[in-house]
Amino acid sequence: MCGIVGYVGPKHPSDVVVDGLTALEYRGYDSAGLAVLVGKRIELLRTVGRVQGLRELVEKSDLSGSQSAIGHTRWATHGVPSVTNAHPHANTDQTIFVVHNGIIENYQEIKSRLQAKGYQFASETDTEVVPQLIDYYVKEGLALEPAFKAALKDLRGAYALLVISSVEPDTLLAAKLSSPLVLGIGDGEMIIASDPLALVEHTKKVVYLEDGQVIRVTKDTYHIENLAEEKPVRAKVELLTDIDGTTGKGNFPHFMLKEIYEAPNTLKLATAGRVHAHEGLVKLGGLENVAEQLRHIDRLVIVACGTSSYAGMVGEYFMEELAGLPTEVQLASEFVYRDEPLSRSTAVLAISQSGETADTISALKKVENYGCLRLGVVNAVGSTIARMTDAGVYCHAGPEQAVASTKAFIAQVTVLLLIALYLNNGKTEQYKPLLEELEALPDKAAAVLSQAKHIEAMARKYAMYRDFLFIGRRYAFPCALEGALKLKECSYIHAEGYAAGEMKHGPLAMIDPNFPTFALACDSPLLEKTLSNIQEIRARKGPVVAIATEGNKHIRKLADDVIYVPDTLEQLQPVLAAIVEQLFAYYVAVAKGLDMDRPRNLAKSVTVE
Ligand code: M6R
C-alpha cells in the first residue's frame, strides 16, 4: 500500500526520494507526491498515476539548493485518487508538510474541532488533519517538535508519519504507531522510509522504529524518544545483510513472470542449510531458542491473510499428519475479533510474505499478553512481524514485487513442511523420503516451467470465460483456493475454489458449458474420488482442465485439457500445482491485456485493516 521516503543530506533530496518511491512501487498505489525544501520555501509536487509522472515533474522544476524532501505513494482510503488527495498534505500557511501511512481513525472529530477554530481543509483525506493540528499547536506557542508530539497524542489509529517544515529547515520529524518505519544512517545523510528496500542503495545501517516512538533527524544526527514518557531511547542499530536492493525485471516482461520463474531457486533457498537428507536432519536455527517450549505445545493456530492463509492450510495438513499437532488456520482479520479461549500451550504462527500485513500484525498483538508462543514464517527480513514474534523461520524467497504472490507461496509451503518435519524429528516413515524429495523438487519445478508454452495456449483458450471453478481434495484443496485467488486477482475472472467433495452440496448447480473447472487431480489415494467429481462435471457439459501426474493417460479421456506435472509425493504436489496455476493466471491476464503486476484496486502490502 502507501510508501514513505524522506531524505536529508548532500545528495539531490528529490532524486533520492523519487528513487526510493520507485523501489516501493510494487506495493501498489494510485498517486504520488513530494515536498522539497528549497531554501526557506517548500515546493509541492503531486500527480495521479505512476512515480514516473512525479519524476517528470521534478525534472521540470528548479529544485537546486534543496536540503531535504519527503515523498509518498498513496493507495486511496479516504477520498478518490486525485492530486488534491495525494500526499504530502500541508497546513494552510504551507509551512508544515506531512506524509502518512495508516489511518487516523478519529480524523473527523479532530477536523470538526479545527474547523470550529476557523481551519479550512482542501482534501478529503484523514491525513490533512495532522499538519493542521501541528499548526494549531505551533500557534498555541509550542516549537515544532513539541507541537508534533502534542498532535500525536490527539491521534487515534495507525500511522507512520514524516514531517518537513520551513520552520526548522534542516530537520525531519517522524513517528510510528502500527505502521512500519525505518531509519537509514548514512555518512552525513539520513533517510527514513516505510520499507528498507527504499534506502538499501544508500546505506545498510538501520534502526527499526518501534510503536510509540518519535524521531528527530538531521543530516548528521538522530534522536529517538518514547512518546508516552518523552524519554530518549537507545536505538539498536542493525545491518541490512539479507536485503537485496535489486528491483528490476531482468529479461522478463513482468515481475510476476520473473518471480514464477524463480521457483526452482526459491525452493533451494528455502531449504539451503536446513535440509540434510543424508543425515536425516532438519535444522531450523530460527526455532532453536524455543525448542524446549515447542515440546509443550498442544495446539497451533496459524494466522494469515490471502495466499499466506492458503499456504497455512497446506501447513495445517503437514502439522497434523507429520507432527501430530492439532492445528487450525484462521484468517487474521477474523481471529482478531473472536473471543475464543487460548491457553498458554497454544502457539500462534503468523505467515506473511511482507511481514507488514495489518490484520496479521493485529492478530499477533491480540495474543501479546496471553503468554502464547508467537512464531513467524515471514519473507521480508526485519519486517514488523519478523520482529514481533518470539521465533520463526524466514522464507528467503527474496523481494516479491508483483502484487500476486507466487514464489512466496512456494517458499511458505516449503518452510511449513520443514517445521512439521523438525517437530516430527524423524519419527514418521515419510520423514526421509520427504527430505529426499525436497532436494529433487527444484528440478521438478523447472520441468513444470518448461511447459509454459502449453499453459499459455491453454490460458488463451479459456481467457474469455467469465467464471471458473477450482477443485481439489486434501493437499490439493488449499491449492484450489489459491488457484482461484490467483486467477481472480490477475484476470478479474470470477473464480471459486472448492473442496472437490463439496461439489454435490451446491457448486454443481453452476456447471454448464460456460463454466469451466480446473481440477487438481494428481496421483493420490483420493484420485479416484476426484475423477468421479470430474465425471459429474463432464456429465453436465462443464469444460474441465486437469492438472495430473505424468503418465496418467486415463485422465485424457475425462478432461478437455490436461497439464501434466512430474510425479512427486502428495505433500509436495501443492508446490508444482501452484506453478501451473500461477502461469495459467499470468497468461490469462496477458491474453486480456491486463497489468497483472499491479491489478486494479489491490496493493502488495496491505498495511491497513
Ligand atoms: O504479505 P502477506 O503475505 O501478509 O499478504 C497477505 C495477502 O495480502 C496476500 O497474500 C494477497 O492475498 C496476495 N495478493 C495474493 O496473491
- Mean pLDDT value across residues 563-580: 98
Q: Are residues 287 and 164 in the same domain?
A: no
- Mean pLDDT value across residues 442-454: 97
352 CA → ligand 1 middle, Å: 7
pLDDT at 244: 57
pLDDT at 444: 97
Locate the ligand 1 atom nearest the alpha carbon of residue 305 and give its number.
6
pLDDT at 243: 57
Query: Hey, which of 405, 406, 605 would you mutate to test ligand 1's pocket, going by the most ligand atoms within 8 Å of its Cβ?
Result: 405
Is the model's pLDDT at 49 over the cut of 70? yes
Listed range (152-166, 380-394, 595-609) with the worst mean pLDDT: 595-609
pLDDT at 601: 87
Which domain does 525 fall in, by range? 451-596
218 CA → ligand 1 middle, Å: 36
- Per the structure, how many domains does the chain have? 3
pLDDT at 247: 58
pLDDT confidence bin for 542, thresholds 50/70/90 = very high
pLDDT at 158: 85
Q: Which residue, judged by its Cα, is nearest atom 9 of ligand 1?
A: 306
pLDDT at 595: 93
Q: Which residue, judged by its Cα, is nearest atom 14 of ligand 1?
A: 404
Locate the ligand 1 atom nearest the alpha carbon of residue 602 and give its number.
14
Q: Are residues 209 and 326 in the same domain?
A: no
- Mean pLDDT value across residues 278-288: 89
Locate the ligand 1 atom nearest the alpha carbon of residue 354 and give its number.
1
> What share of the chain has pLDDT > 70, as a percent?
99
93 CA → ligand 1 middle, Å: 40
Is the model's pLDDT at 448 over the cut of 90? yes
Q: Which residue, judged by its Cα, is nearest atom 4 of ligand 1?
A: 352
Extract the C-alpha cell encoding 459. Answer: 490460458
87 CA → ligand 1 middle, Å: 25
pLDDT at 146: 97
Distance CA 138, CA 135 (A): 5
Is 66 domain-assigned?
Answer: yes
Does 2 qualify as catalytic in the annotation? yes
Does 372 qualify as catalytic in the annotation? no
Q: Residues 6 or more apart from 368 whose CB is under 8 A from it?
A: none
Distance CA 162, CA 215 (A): 9
Is 170 domain-assigned?
Answer: yes
Is 604 domain-assigned?
Answer: no
Listed range (206-215, 453-462, 512-521) with the worst mean pLDDT: 206-215
Question: For residue range 6-40, what is the model confidence (pLDDT) as tens digits?
Answer: 999 999 999 999 999 998 887 778 899 999 999 88
What is the edge-to-edge ordering of all strands in the sheet holding 494-499?
A: 494-499, 467-472, 517-521, 544-549, 561-565
Residue 381 backbone dihedrals phi, psi, to 5 degrees: -65, 135
Look up the CATH number of the domain holding residue 512: 3.40.50.10490
pLDDT at 450: 97
Is 247 domain-assigned?
Answer: no
Question: For residue range 60-116, what is the model confidence (pLDDT) as tens digits?
Answer: 998 988 999 999 999 888 899 999 999 999 999 999 999 999 889 999 999 999 999
More confident residue, 250 or 401: 401
For residue 259, which amino acid is it? E
Last residue of a domain, one of 177, 211, 239: 239
Query: Hey, which of 255, 330, 353, 600 would you mutate to test ligand 1's pocket, going by the most ligand atoms within 8 Å of its Cβ?
Result: 353
Q: Are residues 478 and 414 in the same domain?
A: no
Query: In the chain, count of helices (H) and strands (E)?
Result: 19, 27
Q: Are 360 and 376 in contact (CB under 8 A)?
A: no
Distance CA 283, CA 272 (A): 10
Last residue of a domain, one of 425, 449, 473: 449
Locate the ligand 1 atom nearest the alpha carbon of residue 406 and give its number.
16
Among the listed residues 70, 52, 55, 2, the one whose alpha carbon sits nearest the alpha carbon of residue 30: 2
More confident residue, 148 or 169: 148
Q: Are residues 68 and 163 in the same domain?
A: yes
Question: Concatenated DSSP letters for 89-114?
Answer: EE-TTS-EEEEEEEEETTHHHHHHHH
Q: Are residues 435 and 457 in the same domain?
A: no
Q: Are residues 426 and 565 in the same domain?
A: no
- Mean pLDDT value across residues 416-434: 91
Is 606 domain-assigned?
Answer: no
pLDDT at 197: 85
Catalytic residue among 149, 258, 486, 604: 604
End-to-end CA separation in angstroms for the chain = 11
Look up the CATH number of the domain holding residue 37: 3.60.20.10
Q: Are residues 37 and 59 in the same domain?
A: yes
Q: Are residues 172 and 260 in the same domain?
A: no
Among the listed residues 393, 429, 395, 390, the one whose alpha carbon sits nearest the alpha carbon of residue 410: 395
Listed range (285-289, 427-431, 589-593) with the worst mean pLDDT: 427-431
Last residue of a domain, one of 449, 466, 492: 449
Is 245 domain-assigned?
Answer: no
For residue 364, which amino acid is it? L
- Mean pLDDT value across residues 581-601: 95
Q: Are residues 428 and 552 in the same domain?
A: no
- For all residues of the chain together, what is the average pLDDT? 94
357 CA → ligand 1 middle, Å: 8
pLDDT confidence bin for 245, thresholds 50/70/90 = low
Is 601 domain-assigned?
Answer: no
Question: For residue range 221-240, what is the model confidence (pLDDT) as tens digits?
Answer: 999 999 998 889 988 898 87
Ligand 1 site residues, Cβ closer than 6 angstroms = 305-308, 352-354, 357, 360, 403-405, 485, 489, 606
Q: Are residues 477 and 546 in the same domain?
A: yes
Extract the C-alpha cell encoding 479. Answer: 491449492
Is the model's pLDDT at 246 over the cut of 90? no
403 CA → ligand 1 middle, Å: 8
pLDDT at 27: 76
Q: Which residue, judged by its Cα, is nearest atom 10 of ligand 1?
A: 307
Distances 336 to 178, 362, 375 between C-alpha atoms, Å: 15, 6, 16
Locate the ligand 1 atom nearest the alpha carbon of residue 357 and give its number.
4
Degrees to nearest 5, angle at CA 217 with 52 and 124: 50
- Mean pLDDT value across residues 451-456: 97
pLDDT confidence bin for 281, thresholds 50/70/90 = confident
Degrees to nearest 5, angle at CA 310 with 308 and 311: 65
Among the listed residues 377, 205, 238, the one whose alpha carbon sits nearest the alpha carbon of residue 303: 377
pLDDT confidence bin for 381, thresholds 50/70/90 = confident
Q: Are residues 575 and 565 in the same domain?
A: yes
Q: Are residues 392 and 467 in the same domain?
A: no
Is 607 domain-assigned?
Answer: no
